[in-house]
Structure 1
Amino acid sequence: MTRSILSGLLGLLSVVAMASLPAACESGGVGDPCLPEDEYDPQFAGFKVTEENIESRSFQCQTRICLVNHFQGRVSCPLGQEAPAVCKPGEGGCADCVETSTYAPDCDPSKDAASQCFSGQCDPAGAFCSCATEADCPSNDWVCKGGQCKLHVCRDGITGCQDPSRPNAENEGKACCVPGSEGREFVPVASPVCGQCAPDSNRNAEQAVYCSCRCGVAEGEEEDPNFNFCTCPQGFTCSEIRPNVGLGDEQITGKYCIKEKSEFTSGQACGQVQGRYDSEQCEGNP
């Protein structure tokens, strides 16, 4: 797991907030907007419309479920972006070179470092894969600083961050940013990001990403009398999101409350993509 100050703060907030949340699955709050935790990762390129994601311990939802029901891109970045230019501090060519990502996977100091870390070094105090030189980092784009691999991007020419609450016209030319970093010290996302699906596709953030709850077992499974399933509120229907294929936690498989008429059919249901479109990365049409 990549370590970063942002993810550490997010984890702390999650622990504090989750302490006040109900342990059972409740339908209160279904449909409330939520921001998936993946979006706090500066290298996360966004969700794929052909996939679903069930965040089962969301501190933002009364139900503790933030559902990504076949959505494309980032909730926080409606128009997507091309990847910003990579830079290295002090090497010239960029007046505003900022750190965006840290590569320091967890490791066990009591075990063989070579089998856990690309660098062959596991920091004994921090229990993370450390670096001594740039050769210990994922690529030449990274620098080794303080024993950790760091990636920097150039903010030259970037006028600010996209805001999902603002019209597309106001987001034109702006970057995808790590949530919470808006302002003078904003941190651009380091990856290329697809624009969201068309508003009338039922696959944009408003229609496909929100708080939900588990309302039934997967098709073909026996009923589970010990699970507190919810009843979907008006405007939502109970629909299978994740079949049980024998992998992972079976208690997050099955049916969830989704907005009516928002069942996923195919990638082309994305419609005309808002903003950045790349046929190799994005579904829908330009």
Structure 2
Amino acid sequence: MSAPAPEVEQSALPVSDSQTYRRAFKDLREGLSQRELWLSLGWQDIKQRYRRSVLGPFWITIATGIQASAIGLLYSVLLDQPLREQLPHVTVGLIVWGLIQASIIEGSEVFIANEGLIKQLPSALSVHVYRLVWRQILFFAHNLLIYVIVFFAFSIWRDVHWTIIFAIPAFVLLVLNAMWVSIVFGIFATRYRDIAPILNSMTLMLFVLTPVMWSTKALENQGGQVADRARIVEIVPTFHFLEIVRAPLLGEDQHAYHWYIVGAFTVVGWIVAIFALKKYRARVPYWV
């Protein structure tokens, strides 16, 4: 009579880590270590967009500068605000909004747009997120040239003090939020293709509600019910992200609660992003 076959120990069975937090963090680390790849790809994206153009990426700066000048002049007249205050307000608002908008719209398509690379290139999924954010940082840097011109043309340097350094951690927070937004929206928009057009419409609505072109200060100066209604903008999340960058760059008073709200969004957003990477990272190549 043959002896019974030995039982296979449970610990000897292979265990997949494709849906573990360890694998999610590993993906982020591996993507960061492949910085030569996404730094190069991000720069190539800009060069490809402005191929055969004489001014190249500086068309970004020119287009933003013209838009800021036109909107600043118009709203200066409509709101009866000094051009010296309104134009810098609009300029910095458009520069920062460009990064916020790209994080939402392009972030929702980050994996769909890189379908070929995801299926053929053995790299971390986060590489495509880093590439997108790096590209937007380059756009932001080009547009900062407009701020420098406005800074001296309208003598903003007289109002700015040492608190301008808070614009640096504020920008870091914007980048961190751009990353988790791209991860979360990118994953779910890849699975559900209706999310991308919904986000496009939502971003347009947020642009109207966020004081990019107009100023809450102008409404508050009118007093009465108009001043009270201006506080409604506090419920718009993008207002707080915009304010932590714009206030120090223009030498305006800063309020701590803007930082608290942005900090809370950053923490909660990254928790959701890590969970999304843990749960759905391995499925993205099949969804694209």
- Normalised by the size of structure 1, how large is the TM-score? 0.29
**Structure 1 or 2: more strand by fraction:** 1
**Structure 1 or 2: more helix by fraction:** 2
| Structure index of larger Rg | 2
Q: Of the two structures, which has the highest relative contact order with CA contacts closer than 8 Å and spacing of 6 or more? A: 2
- Normalised by the size of structure 2, how large is the TM-score? 0.29
